Amino acid sequence: MTPRWKALEASLRRRVRAELRASRELWREYKRNRRSFSRQTRLEPFIRFLVPIALAAIALAGTSAPALVLAALTLYATGSAFLRAASLLQGLHGSTDLNVLAHYPCSDDDLLRLQWRRFHRSSLWLLYTFAVVYLVLGAGGGPAALALSAGLALVHWLGTLGVSAALAAWRPAWPLPFLGKALCLLSAAPVVFGKALGPLLEGSPGLGFLALPTGWASFAFRNGIVLGEPWALAAALPAAALAALVPLAGRRFLRTYSVGGLVYPAAPTAELILEQMVQNEMVRRSEYDPAVVESPELKPALREELRRSIPEFMEGRVLEGGFLRAPDWTRGGPLERAFAALLSPRERAAADFLLGGGMSWTRSWILSAVFAALGSLGVLLLGGPVPWVVVSAGALMALPLLAGTWPAFHTVPTGGVFMPLHALYPLGYWQMSSLKFRAALVRGLAWAPLAFGFAVLIGAWPGTWIEGGPVLALKALAVYAASVPVFAIFRFSEGTNDTERPGCLGAFLFLPIILTVLAAAAGAILLFVPELGFWKVGLPLLALPPFLAWALYGLLYTRCRVDLLRATPSST
C-alpha cells in the first residue's frame, strides 16, 4: 500500500488550478495562500548530516587516531540501531500515520508494509555516514583500499539495519529510545577522552570492537585496512550476515503484527470518578492522620459513604473553599521556602500558575547535585586537569542550576497552531521575568557552595593549570547571572513566532538583541582568558548586554511585535 496516489494528485491539481484560473479573485487568493504557507525547519537532519562530517574532519585533522574515530562511529551506529528500532515500533504502534490510516479500510499487512518501507528509506542516512567516514579514513591507501572502504561501509549499514530490525522484532520492551540516545551521546567520549583512551585503543588488537555486532565492520576496517592485516577483513562476513536479520524480523512482524483497535482516552465513568474521589479523600485525611493510609477497612467504607452522597459531599467540599487557598509552600524544601519568602501574595498566585501548581525544586536539586558532583569527579579522574576536561566537568557541575521546570511556558494546541499556556491568562513579560530572576537568585545562592567546592578542588588538583580556584567560581557565578536574562529571552521566544519568517523588519528588530547576546558571550570568553588583558572589559560586557537584550526583547514582546503563537510545539 502506498499512501500517495501521485497520478491522481497531479491530475486533480491540474484541474483545480484550471478552475481557479478562471476566476481572477480565486486565483489571487490561491496564490496568497500558497505564499503564506511556511515550511518547518527541523534540526535532526542537520545533526545527522554533520556527524560524519565532524568525524571525517577529526580524522583529517589528525587530532584523534583512526581507532578512536572508529570507536566513536561504532557507538554512534549502535545508538542509531536502537533509535531506528524505536522509530520502527513507533511507526507500527503509535504514529500519526496509523491514527489517520486506521480510520480507513487498510489491512494490518498494508500498514506494516508501509512502515517497513519507511524504516528502510529513512535509514539511508546511516549509509551516508558510514561511507563518508570510511572513505576519508581509507583515502590514503590507494584505489583498492577505497573500494574496500566503500564495501565495508555498505556492510556496516546492512549489519546495523539487521541489528535494528532484530531489536524491534525481538526486544520491543527494551527502553530503546533511552539506550539509543545514551549511546549516541556516549559516542563523543572516544574523541573527547582521546588522551586517556587513545593509548589503550592504539596498543590493543581491537577486540573491543567485536563485543558489539555493530563493531564487526569497524574491526574489519581498522585491522584490515588501517593496520594492513588482511585476515581481519573476514570479520566483514558475519557483519554482512547480520543483514539476514532484516527479512527474518520482517517475517516475524508479518506473523505477529496487529494494529488492534485504536485506544482513545475514555471520558470518566461514574466508577472512575468515585475511585478518584476516594483517593483524594484518603490523601486529604492522611494529612491529618498519617496512619489512615495503613487502615485497610477505611477505603471500602469511604467508597460506600461517597457512593451514597457524591453531590452533597462535593457541595460540602466546594463550600469549604479549600480550592481557593494558596498552596502552602512553607511545607516544601528549603529552595521552595526561600523562593516563596521573596514573593508577595499576588506574585505567589502568578508563580503558582507558572509552576503548574507544584514545585519540587529541592528534591531535583539534591538529585542533580549528587549526579553532578560524582560526574565531575569521574570526568576529572579520567581526563586530568586539562582545560577542556575542566570545562566539561564544570558544565556537568552546573546541572543543579537547571533543576525545576516552568510548565506554563509549554505550548498547547489551539486552532492549528500552538501557544504558550500562559498566553491566556493575565501574566506579563516583566512580571514573569521578575519571578524567573528571583528563582534564579535562589538557585544561584544554593549552587554557590558547590561551585566554590569544585573550584577549590580543581585548583588543588595535582598538575593543574588553574590558579586561584575560588576566583574561577566567582567568574562562573557571574556567567550564570548573565545567562539568566538570556535564557529568559529563549524561554519567552519558544512560545512565539519571532523566528518564523522573520523578514527584513524582524531581522532589523532582532539585530540589536543578537548583537548584545554576542557581546555578552565575548565578555564571558574574555573573563576566562585574563592573559588577553581584557578582563576589565569582560566583566562589564558580561554584566550589561544580557539585561539590555532582555529589555529590548521585552519591548518587542510587550509592544505586540510578536504573536504568542507558533506553527510547531515548543521543544520543552
Partner 1 sequence: MRIGLERLSKSYGRLKALDELTLDLEPGQVVALLGANGAGKTTLLRCLAGIAAPDGGMILYDGQVFRRERLDLRRRFGFLPDFPAVYPEMTVLRHLGMVLRLYGTEPAGIEERVLRLLRDLDLLPLAEMPLGTLSRGQLYKAALATLAAVDPELWLFDEPFASGMDPNGITVFKDLARDAASRGRTVVYSTQLLDIAERLSDRVVIIDRGRLAAFDSVDALRAKAGGKDGVLEALFRRLREENR
Contact residues toward partner 1 (CB under 8 A) are: 23, 25-26, 29, 32-33, 35-36, 38, 265, 267-268, 270, 272-273, 276-277, 280, 310-311, 314-315, 317-326, 346, 349-350, 352-353, 356-357, 407, 412-415, 419, 421, 423-431, 501, 557-565
Q: Helices marked H in 171-223 — which ranges?
A: 176-186, 189-192, 194-203, 216-219
Smallest distance, partner 1 to C-beta of residue 331, A: 16
- Shortest spacing between CB 37 and partner 1, in angstroms: 8
Residue among 288, 355, 290, 358 at smallest CA distance from 327:
358
32 vs 121 by CB, closer to partner 1: 32
In the complex with partner 1, the residue whose CB is nearer, 56 or 565, is 565
Distance CA 84, CA 76 (A): 12
Nearer CB in complex with partner 1: 62/413: 413
Q: How far is the CB of 501 from partner 1 (least distance, A)?
A: 6
* Comparison of 5 and 508: residue with beta carbon closer to partner 1: 508
CB of 25 vs partner 1, minimal distance in Å: 6
Least distance from partner 1 to the Cβ atom of residue 398, Å: 29
The three cell numbers of residue 403 are: 533543576
Amino acid present at 117? R
Pick 148 or 513: Cβ nearer partner 1: 513
| Closest to partner 1 by CB, 268 or 387 | 268
Between 261 and 311, whose beta carbon lies closer to partner 1? Answer: 311
Are the beta carbons of 107 and 54 closer than 8 angstroms? no
CB of 364 closer than 8 Å to CB of 377 = no
First to last CA, the chain: 36
CB of 18 to partner 1, least distance (A): 16
In the complex, what is the shortest distance from the CB of residue 315 to partner 1, in angstroms, rounded to a whole number? 6
CB of 304 to partner 1, least distance (A): 16
Cell 521543544, residue? 571
DSSP 37-52: --PPP-SHHHHHHHHH
Supply φ then ψ for residue 416, to 5 degrees: 85, -5
Contact 38, 567 (CB under 8 A): yes
User: Any idea which residue has 504573536 for its cell?
Assistant: 563
- E strands, 415-567, in order: 417-420
The distance of closest approach from Cβ of residue 312 to partner 1 in the complex, given in angstroms and rounded to an integer, is 10
Nearest residue (CB) to partner 1, 429 versus 528: 429
Give 227 or 314: the residue with its C-beta nearer to partner 1. 314
Q: Tell me which residue of 363, 451, 452, 358 sits closest to 406, measured CA to CA.
A: 358
Looking at the Cβ atoms of 35 and 103, the one nearer to partner 1 is 35
Closest CB 259 distance from partner 1, rounded Å: 24
Over the range 325-362, which residues count as b (16 or more CB within 10 Å of their CB) and which as e? Answer: eebebeebbebbebbbebbeeeebebbbbbbeeebebb
Distance CA 115, CA 427 (A): 44
* Burial of residue 246, with CB atoms counted within 10 A of its CB: 0-12 exposed, 13-18 middle, 19 or more buried: buried
